[in-house]
Structure 1
Amino acid sequence: MQNALFVGVSSQVALQRELDVIANNMANLSTTGFKARNTRFEEYLMPVASADSFQAPDRRVSYVVDQGTTLDLSQGPIEQTGNPLNVAVKGPAFIAVQAAGGERYTRNGALELNAQGQIVTSDGYPVVGEGGPIAINSQETGLAIGPDGTVSTNLGIRGRIKLVTFPDPRRLTNEGGNLYASRDPARPAGRDGRLEPGALERSNVQPVLEMTRLMDVNRSYTTVSSVIARLDDLRGTAIRRLADIA
């Protein structure tokens, strides 16, 4: 009976984790360049719970183990905006930006010019150029960003946005502010990443699928809670009957 309770609790913990992931996905339906996450669970067979010497050997107890989340790298919808500072990242690439903790990475192509003339994201993070920060003088005109990240004005090329990729982008970790961090060294995207000027990549979260997942997880959580409640009642009944016999 105790094993059944422990299995139920492990299931509840896993389902709660999945609810948190789904809620975060839904909260970022309108976040530019957001990539959804999916939970990964694994069965763990408790090796200690066995007694093979009995006529009916004990079954191994199966628990649920949270193996973390993976990044869904599918391309989000591309929306044309006509804004020369908007770029949609295409392919498994990321824009490098400078954050407080060092270089970080984003798919947020809603770029702006700050008071110093630097190209920054909509959250204010300076975009990293291959040759250093990219700054535009207030007198310059004809700002344009090319598919390879080249930034040019009427004065010529002003820099190139640093586009990077990773051996396994699914291992990137979220840091808030639509930023990702990586333990693996970034490498130049090359042909793996291009920019579509005058457009934005929207979130790749699919609301219908997420709502379906949410209902399934809620039902499963309710079912497990009911089983645990019945097991608790059964244990209480057993204790009372044993007390009566004593």
Structure 2
Amino acid sequence: MNNSMISAKVSMTAIQQRLDVIADNIANVNTAGYKSKQASFEDALTRVQQQDDKYKQDGRSTPMGYNLGFGTRLVNLTRDMSQGSMKETGNPTDLAIEGNAMFAVQANGQKLWTRQGAFHFVPDMRPKVNPNDPDRMVLVNDAGHFALNRQGELITAPMNSTVAFDDKGNLLIRQGGGNAVITGQLQMVDIERPEGLVQLADNLFGLDAGVTENDVFGANAATRVPQASIRTGFLEQSNVDMTQEMALLMQGQRIYQLAARALTSSDSMAGLANNMRA
């Protein structure tokens, strides 16, 4: 396999990875709280190919030798954690974060984090400790993951009570004609090192391998007061720039086509060379 075929094949693999990232961003343009991804690339291998001395002629203006590349490869994926636009819903349990922070949720028994704040209360189906305890409801997001409070516990409220949240994430409950009482607070944590997070399914983020919660959110993040605030009755929209993503998509498709033609041309030349030897 000659150098041009290697370069084209490696480049096509990297371009396909970039197109996959762009497609993921476009697919989530309407996903609340979604953070767009960006792919970074670098040369897979580059060396200087020396030319024969016969090319060293009088009047030559360019230096001897030329750079020989072997395509590009994906280095890493980064996330744009910038604030998305706000959409008013009027739902008192729809919460949008203003600032660099995330909600803590429990998914499949594991603690994870998200910017998606479309919460609602559902009946608490867990067995009661005391059969005489009143019926309660529990706070979950659209994917059915449980929201956590500052103590790492599920957020519950009495059935048929009126619930609301303030800008600090405090849960206010009113029963009957009584006054609203604060009964808990959402666990919202500031992000100090977003590169330590790994994006998962359902718009969730987990910790990268070898990274601790303190590394990403700082010490005592679950209990300290965050700098971010909450807007109730709003949802943060995706921060995907559709115009930019479509431009990158067309650019990537054209580059892929060019690399594919280079691969086809290299294969044709290799076939001609083999026939000449025969």
Q: TM-score, normalised by structure 1?
A: 0.90
Equivalence for 1:106 = 114
Contact 1:73-1:170 at 8 Å conserved across structures: no
Q: 2: CA distance between counterparts of 1:160 and 1:72? A: 28
**Which of the numbers 165, 171, 190 marks the counterpart of 1:145?**
165
Q: 2: CA distance between counterparts of 1:45 and 1:16? A: 19
Partner AA of 1:140 in structure 2: S
Equivalences for 1:1-246 in 2 at 5 Å? 2-46=2-46, 55=53, 57=65, 59-100=67-108, 102-116=110-124, 117-131=137-151, 132-141=153-162, 143-154=163-174, 155-183=180-208, 184=211, 185=213, 186-187=217-218, 188=221, 190-243=225-278
Task: Give, in angstroms, the shift of residue 52 of structure 1.
Answer: 5.6
* Higher mean displacement: 190-199 or 119-128: 190-199
Unaligned segments of structure 1, at least 5 residues = none
Q: 1: CA distance between counterparts of 2:15 and 2:237? A: 28
Unaligned segments of structure 2, at least 5 residues = 54-63, 125-136, 175-179
Q: CA RMSD in A?
A: 2.0
CA 1:54 to 1:81, structure 2 compared with 1: closer, same or farther past 3 Å? same
Large movers: runs of 4+ above 4 Å: 49-54
Q: Output one character per residue of 1:173-196: Cα deviation in whole Å (capped at 9) or x when no partner.
A: 121011111233134274432211
Q: TM-score, normalised by structure 2?
A: 0.80
Q: Output one character per residue of 1:109-136: Cα deviation in whole Å (capped at 9) or x when no partner.
A: 1001021111111111000100222101
Partner AA of 2:187 in structure 1: K
Q: Output one character per residue of 1:129-167: Cα deviation in whole Å (capped at 9) or x when no partner.
A: 0022210101422x2211111111125112111111333
How many residues align? The count is 240
Task: Give, in angstroms, the shift of residue 86 of structure 1.
Answer: 0.6
Contact 1:72-1:170 at 8 Å conserved across structures: no
Q: Output one character per residue of 1:12-69: Cα deviation in whole Å (capped at 9) or x when no partner.
A: 01110011111111111111111110111112335xx667695455744343121121
Q: 1: CA distance between counterparts of 2:260 and 2:227? A: 47
CA 1:167 to 1:62, structure 2 compared with 1: closer, same or farther past 3 Å? farther
Q: Secondary structure at the match of 1:118?
A: strand
Q: 2: CA distance between counterparts of 1:173 and 1:101? A: 18
Partner AA of 1:217 in structure 2: G
Q: 2: CA distance between counterparts of 1:74 and 1:101? A: 29
Max Rg structure? 2
CA 1:76 to 1:221, structure 2 compared with 1: closer, same or farther past 3 Å? same
Partner AA of 1:148 in structure 2: K
Contact 2:3-2:70 at 8 Å conserved across structures: no
Contact 1:70-1:171 at 8 Å conserved across structures: no
Contact 2:43-2:69 at 8 Å conserved across structures: no
Q: 1: CA distance between counterparts of 2:111 and 2:16? A: 32
Q: 1: CA distance between counterparts of 2:19 and 2:114? A: 24
